[in-house]
A and B are shown apart, each in its own frame.
Chain A
Amino acid sequence: MIAFRRATKLYGTVIGVNDVTLSLPQGAYGLIGPNGSGKSTLLNLMTGQLRPTLGEVRVFGENPCNNPEVLRRLGVCPEQDSVYADVSGLEWVAYLLQLHGFGRRAARQRAADSLDRLGMAPAMRRRMGSYSRGMRQRTKLAAALAHDPELLILDEPLNGLDPVGRHEVTVQLQEWIRRGRGLVLASHILHEVEAVTQSFLLICGGRVLASGSAEEVHTLLAEIPNEIHIRTNDAAGLARRLVEEGAAESLRFDGGESLIVATRNPAVLYARLPQWLDGTGIQVRELRSTDESLHALFSALMRIHRGNA
């Protein structure tokens, strides 16, 4: 379905995507990465909006740049939240369908159906300038789905949606996948993507670091120690105590008063820490756990790729 062969995209001296080789058969994929990791660049390469500086990109076996046959089979929902403020949602989606080659009447009918499926029927004749963010997002999705493409490429499609909206869109996407269509869904939020697809591509710093199923990602997460930041009056003493109890995978000092503890069992550490410190005179002034497991995941993957782990 999609193939990258040593594809690199440079913006001047800035690397957008770095030597990516991928082959994605028909299916649904979540593209996960932090902000600035190259997700949008990768998607723009897939849709032909960017040409790779090196290497090549193939979608449905062809170069997607300026290729109407490929573009006809794609549905794209970009991340940008901008639409024409002075035009109704129906008119806008119908216009985009006309650019697909549909006649005016057919375009309007399809547009209305697509908007209706996404819960936009009551508002589709209103000016888009009066839409909320969630409504704009649904309209964009409707525009991507209206021409019944074979492959859907969505960049942060759940941005701006309330929980009900997220659920509805997730259900739509699940239905989409059940029909055997292709999907590439980019996001920086793991659980959102997890609700839709079980296959992931993890991207960071312009490189695809890992790929696999949800279980494999969670296993990876589980294998990566959590880091806990502790500020105390006696960092050395605390470190000694933790080592004695065997509670830490690794320890490092951060300034004179802080200790960063990496542990695979943070729950145990939280529960037992007061007990361990009882009577030692060690005071804990601040205890902070980074809850960004995705950040930890990517940090760990980067370390592996750099050969530091």
Chain B
Amino acid sequence: MTHDKGAKPAKLLVYRHAGVTRATHWINVLALSLLLMSGLQIFNAHPALYWGAKSAFSHPWLAMVPGEKGGQPVGVTMVGSHQFETTGLFGYSGHGDKAEPRGFPAWATIPSYRDLADGRRWHFFFAWLFVINGLVYWAMSLINRHIQRDLWPKGWQLQPAHVWREIVTHAQLKFPKGEDARTYNILQKGAYLAVIVVLLPLMVATGLTMSPGFDSAAPWLLDLFGGRQSARSIHFISANLIVAFVVVHLAMVVASGTWNNIRSMITGKYAIEAEPGVATPAATGDAA
């Protein structure tokens, strides 16, 4: 316990994250970053996506292709029947004599230059790390009851009125203080569970569905996702959703106290602020 000097509200350091949560979190940061960037390298080998078992080459639902406008090369992104000029980002990018047709730009891929064989090596190496890390997280978090205790929503948290109030206070960037800050709110629980239970396992399952070897052992995966090319599309969409989660996650980390959050994920200790006028909970608007 520490007490700050001056007029600042009293702060209480609580133990927030178990060692296994912290370790698997940072291993996941490393693995997912490298998986994303090597995945974009692999995507660039054929920057087009389809639905079903096979590729209908003239009808991708998403494609990043080079084009030409006024004698100059441009990048074009096609989504369904819509076309967008995305020069410098998708379809055509790079400076000077390094400008070339490519799906995602050099700064987003590993290696930065075009190299499918090495991209695959990075991807599959860190896929193993990611899967092993995920299994450790799952096993340990069920054993130490982190998932059941901290992440699984309580019945009262699922009431629409409560969910709506959380959305409003979150949108106003008002973060809980006092006792409420000790636990995750329903939006945090929903976001974390969506990633841990749905998106990350979905990445593994759709990834395995793209393996012709594994397909022969588990052909039901092909039925589940609607074919190998559908699995590739879902793999891509789900990766984008994870990126979207990370963007919001980082924004929330910054908005609710950058160093306090980062410290809690390194040392486990998280500082919570006592609410002003904490003696009379009924006086605060949000006390129920």
Chain A bound to chain B? no
Interface residue ranges, A against B (CB under 8 Å): none
